[in-house]
Amino acid sequence: MWEDASHKVSYGELRRYLDGHELDSATNYPLRQALLDYLMGRCTPETAWRHMIQLYENYPPDNFQAALNLIGSHDRPRILTLLGGAPPEESLNEFERERFRLTPDMEALAVKRLHVLLLLQMLLPGNACIYYGDETGMQGYSDPYNRGPFPWDKPHEELRVIYHRLIGLRQQYRDLGGGTFTPVYDDGDVLGFRLRRENEELLVCVNRSPEERYVEWRESAAGSDFEPWHPAGEYRFNISGGIYLDERPLRIVDLLDEPEYGDGDGLPTAIRLQPLGGKAFYIRYPEEKSGGAGESAALKPYRRCAGVLMHLTSLPSPWGIGTMGAEAYGFVDFLAAAGQRLWQVLPLNPAGGGNSPYQSGSLLAGNIRLISPELLAQDGWLTENDLDEWRERMADGAEQRVDYAKLAPVSDDMLKRAFERYRRAVASGAAAEFQAEFDAYCEGQNWWLDDYALYAALKGYLGQESWQQWPEPLALRREPELSAYRQRLREQIDCHRFGQFVFNRQWLRLKAYAAARNIAMVGDMPIYAATDSCDTWVYPHLFRLDEEGYPSELAGVPPDYFCAAGQLWENPIYDWRAMEAESYGWWVRRVRQGLKNFDYLRLDHFRGLEAGWAVPRDCPDAKAGQWRRGPGRKLLRALELELGELPLIAENLGFITRDVESIRECFALPGMKILQFTPLDAENRPALTPGERSSVLYSGTHDNETLLGWLLGCGDEGGAMAEEAALDKADDLLEKLYASPSPWVILPLQDVLLLDNAARMNIPGTASGNWEWRALPPYLSSEVAARLYARTARGQRI
């Protein structure tokens, strides 16, 4: 559509293109011409602004949103040829038109200009149309010289990166295009637009000049919004994690570049538009529930404190594994005596392959191995003889390492005994209160519990085969076969429900005990489900599975500092489009449940929300993977709309791009910094940029070497250290860690105790020997608590 489609006259008749009778959309050549004229200096920014306003005013909203916004076209010279300043085609003969190609300098100029145009095109309301080959730098005058086969063997790497990134940005923020559209400009060289929807805004501004330009915010008369910038000499645009408007915070996130900061004080300084450059900003306007400036809402309740990372399995106990019994309550008391305010655990889901809770049979169920036998006995469902038998069967090596193979039959046997005693008590009318609580739990959790209990019962009945190997009617969840098995396995199903109820009951009581001592529980939410899991069995359409239920691609990460071959996790990739079609309801329910069980949640592999590493299923390692786009901001926005403020910690380790960090910053989520991977400043403290100071600082995680083991092996100076020197160095580093500006510092218990790598929890890329370490009883002494308290006090974290 060469003209404005709202008043197109053809053959003497006003066309009805925009009233639903003739066209679904219109190719937006008027916008293309306006943007090209602006960028090439053929009109002022105000003229281009007026063209944009006219289209917005003339087109009905649905048509404006559906317009096909193009830059390159089959019936015009290639966009790179135009932007490079090629001679007018009418000044050349046919032979010259066919042979003409831009010089390297002309091409470099064209790429810069195209970058500016693409930023506008990809984020404007409407549908972005790319003429094939523009993304590879194809050149040529008008048809037929702008045609030709796609140059598969001649990729233009710079343009590929530009297109890939801006298309990704479009996918993350395109929903804001449905809000209020406001073009803006100045009297010099800057053109842009604002998209406002509810309390969110996207601001895009570009500079066509070969010189720097500046813009600034102007506070409106109401003091709660901003006007577009106006000509006034040197324009400045301040940006930060939070600046104030009438005592209320405003969050502004630079989506393309790292924020620029001032003279080491962490305050933002002027942001400039580079020559032939552009900026895109995400803006969150104040809400009543917002946190303070520069402060993550997730960390608000504890401004400056410390905590310990230790999984429940690592607690000392005579049961072969840590449980939610007396030792867990004792650990809470240890934390309180040590001045700690946080207990971070690893996922409490059932452990799967390699004993890992990240390969769990369910992302919603609890690990029944963590149920306390003592508390079951207190409820009357186990006897002292049962407890003695359990201790005896687990006696050898019970305090050293978790022996999962030995533990499983003992734990299952005792849970069955407990359930049978409960059933007999119900039959005799002696368990009315407990029964009422159990029934209420089953009713409230039936949205996942019924499926999980059936899945677990079928697994037991079918010899623990993966559900992909079950008889087809069961694998495909067909009725009436499922109904028949619900009757056949009724007792086993009820036993699994009982186990989940007991787990939840014991956990919430432990959490309440910790809260009474001012200790918050930090949970861990794995991002991916296991291939053989209740999650993939019940919701196969939400995963990228083949017809037999196996993943076509596996999740992982590319080669990094943990593993030179990358990590292949055996987890299927999500079908994010299917998730979005259901408004991310599965995630909403899952996070809602997690926030009932924990005060805060560490969101595992946050990087995977922006893009996940997908590896073909038949690959031996993760080297041959590729990045697949994730939902990013759309998922977090859906969670926020349903659940309110998100007390999440983003596990932003590994290969992290600006696009990943901008999504995290949009929702004020703290990230993670690991001492072993963080440079030290001149005073031997972790060197954190102002943008990183809201991160949670760790000496290491469950995937790392212990701090002492790291120093003994290679250390921060690249050479192995003697044990005494390594102990001194570790002690000094922990002291500096506590003195850092990070609001939270969390140490694995192994680093509190300064243990070597014999105490390591997990080695990524290995399949055995992990998740077994346990803390021996002397480790949690009053002397250790006193030393930790003193360190915490010196760091002003009490």
Gap between the Cα atoms of 306 and 189, Å rounded: 50
703 has catalytic annotation: yes
Give the amino acid at 577.
R
Question: Which of 604, 692, 751, 772 is labelled catalytic?
Answer: 604
Place of tokens 């990524």: 764
Q: Are 453 and 500 in contact (CB under 8 A)?
A: yes
Tokens for 238?
């301040």
Q: How many whole angstroms from its chain centre is CA 533?
A: 22
Per DSSP, helices labelled H in 631-771 are: 633-643, 658-666, 707-713, 723-738, 749-752
DSSP states along 504-551: HHHHHHHHHHHHHTT-EEEEEE-SS--SSSHHHHH-GGGB-B-TTS-B
DSSP states along 602-657: EETTTHHHHEEEEEETT-SSSTT-EEEE--THHHHHHHHHHH-S--EEE---SS--
Q: How many whole angstroms from its chain centre is CA 202?
A: 21
Give the amino acid at 68.
L
Q: What is the maximal distance between C-alpha atoms in the chain?
A: 102
Question: Which of 225, 703, 716, 735 is labelled catalytic?
Answer: 703
What burial class does residue 330 get, using C-beta atoms within 10 Å of its C-beta: 0-12 exposed, 13-18 middle, 19+ buried? middle
Q: Kind of pairing, strands 696-698 and 672-674? A: parallel
Question: Which of 200, 599, 651, 751 is labelled catalytic?
Answer: 651
Cβ neighbors of 762 (< 8 A, separation 6 or more) are: 356, 702, 703, 770, 771
Q: Kind of pairing, strands 305-309 and 611-616? A: unpaired
Give the amino acid at 593.
Q
The DSSP output letter for 600 is: E
- The C-alpha angle 34, 35, 37, rounded to 5 degrees, equals 65
Helices (H) and strands (E) in the chain, counts: 26, 27
Phi/psi for 164 (5° steps) reads -60, -45
Q: Are 250 and 257 in contact (CB under 8 A)?
A: no
Give the amino acid at 746.
I
Gap between the Cα atoms of 764 and 429, Å rounded: 51
Cβ neighbors of 598 (< 8 A, separation 6 or more) are: 511, 521, 522, 523
**Exposure of 186 in the CB half-sphere (CA atoms within 13 A):** 23
Reduced to 3 states (helix: H, G, I; strand: E, B; else coil), residue 68 is strand
Q: Are 385 and 373 in contact (CB under 8 A)?
A: no
Q: Kind of pairing, strands 237-238 and 553-557? A: unpaired
Gap between the Cα atoms of 599 and 273, Å rounded: 42
H or E, element range at 168: helix 157-173
Catalytic center residues: 604, 651, 703
